[in-house]
Amino acid sequence: MSDDKVTVMIPRELYTKVEEKIAGTSFTSVEEYLVLLLENEFPEEAEYSEEEEALIRERLRKLGYIE
């Protein structure tokens, strides 16, 4: 296993339920499904440079979206 992955234990009963849920879908593994759920729960925040942040803030202020 690569260093950037860790093992998490979940109840077997829950694992079986997920397996049943993803049967016939595009998910190829329980892991893939759970990773997606967690990614949705913790989405990547958009990153902005200081310059871009200032430009967007100014535009939103001019348009009246923020004060």
Residues near another protein (CB under 8 A) are 21-22, 25-27, 33, 36, 39-40, 43, 45-46, 48, 52-53, 56-57, 59-60, 63, 65-66
Identify the burial level of 22 via C-beta atoms within 10 angstroms of its C-beta, where 0-12 means exposed, 13-18 middle and 19 or more buried. middle
Nearer to another protein, 1 or 37 (CB): 37
Q: Shortest approach of another protein to residue 66 CB, angstroms?
A: 5
Nearer to another protein, 17 or 59 (CB): 59
The CA-based angle 36-15-34, given to 5 degrees, is: 5
